[in-house]
Amino acid sequence: MSPAYNKKITRQMNYEEFERGLYDLPQDRQAFLSVLFFAGVRVSEALALNSNDISCTPDTIYIQFFRLKGSKQTDPIPIPRTPVLSWLCNQEGKLFSWCRKTGYNIVNRTFTGLYPHYFRMNRFTDIAEKFPLATVVSFSGLNPLSVKYYLAKVDIKRVGVALREEIG
């Protein structure tokens, strides 16, 4: 089953563009959006987090998500310990106190026209371009056949270059 949004945005967002969008937001909203951006999780998976799900090292934060909608449980997801995400390491109890609709609105107001699953598509496409399918499946908890619904269009010019190189 494909994600339930009307207009799939197929361009990707890099970290610099994402980081500019966080400017001037409260810390908890910056952390929430960063979890969506880096981990590619559903809003409800991010909203279910509490401090017991977080393990911090000096350069990495490991987050144990409770996967939904038939996705398989994954190992804790390692994400970079940015200054924004360090906020997670200093919290107790439930991390984000709002509902799914508010989570959706935070995404849409911060990044006009985007929706929370956009970050899911963005992360899974990025991983799929750099790692084999087995890594995408292990990271996301998705069935291999479901991965295709979360991939954006990518630049295939590299394939043409590789084919030319192949023939000499």
Instruction: Specify which residues 63 forms β-bridges with.
Output: 54, 77
- Tokens 């979360």 correspond to 150
For 36-70, write each residue's pLDDT tens digit: 999 999 999 999 999 999 999 999 999 999 877 76
Question: Among 27, 69, 21, which residue's Cα sits nearest to residue 48?
Answer: 69
What predicted TM-score, i.e. pTM, was given to this entire model? 0.85
Give 77-101 pLDDT, tens digit per residue. 999 999 999 999 999 999 999 999 9
Higher pLDDT, 158 or 125: 125
| pLDDT > 70 fraction of the chain, expressed in percent and rounded | 90
Instruction: State both tokens at 1.
Output: 């089953």
Q: In the CATH scheme, what architecture does the domain 15-166 have?
A: Orthogonal Bundle (1.10)
CA atoms within 13 A on the CB side of 104: 7
Asked if 136 contacts 124 with a C-beta cutoff of 8 angstroms, the reply is yes
Domain definitions of the chain by residue range: 15-166
Which of 130, 127, 167, 162 lies closest to 147 in space, CA to CA? 127
**End-to-end C-alpha distance for the chain, whole angstroms:** 43
CA distance 59 to 66: 23
Higher pLDDT, 113 or 93: 93
